[in-house]
Amino acid sequence: MRIGWNEYFLAQSHLLSLRSTCERLKVGATIVKDNRVIAGGYNGSVSGEDHCIDVGCLLEDSHCIRTIHAEINALLQCSKFGVSTEGASVYVTHFPCVHCTKSLVQAGIKNIFYAKGYKNHEYALNLLDKTGVNYERIDFDNHRVAKYFESEI
């Protein structure tokens, strides 16, 4: 039994989400180019700063301003190390917010695969349609993925 690419990359995103330091929603993102992982990210605080799990969320207009979203963390990792995201795909545990969607489009991401919808903003959907970025919800079941491990034992 062999895991498919979509499940494989979404499983990595779910694993990344376990590092999240935000109590409101744990999100992971994996950027992939030519079936190779080029970056991963999870939502959390700026390096060296307090984490929501330690001191609580810093809310402004019901949004946590302490947290950097998973997609942005992954894009910043590419930027920091000089890795091009042009034509890449991103696998995310949840549909990207409108700000992350804009950043992904601007970074040249061509495919957004996500496991769960999350406040799928109308402008984000329209922007993806207008720019030709493919977005697709992928059925992901962590119990099904866990069965791959059970078959190896």
Give the active site residues.
71
- Give the rounded distance of the alpha carbon of 20 from its chain centre: 11
Q: Are 97 and 18 spatial neighbours (Cβ–Cβ below 8 Å)?
A: no
Residue 42 parent element (H or E): strand 36-42
**C-alpha dihedral (11, 15, 16, 18), degrees to nearest 10:** 140
Strands 59-60, 63-64: pairing is antiparallel
Q: What does each C-alpha distance from 116 to 11, 32, 92, 139, 146 come to in angstroms?
A: 13, 19, 8, 8, 18
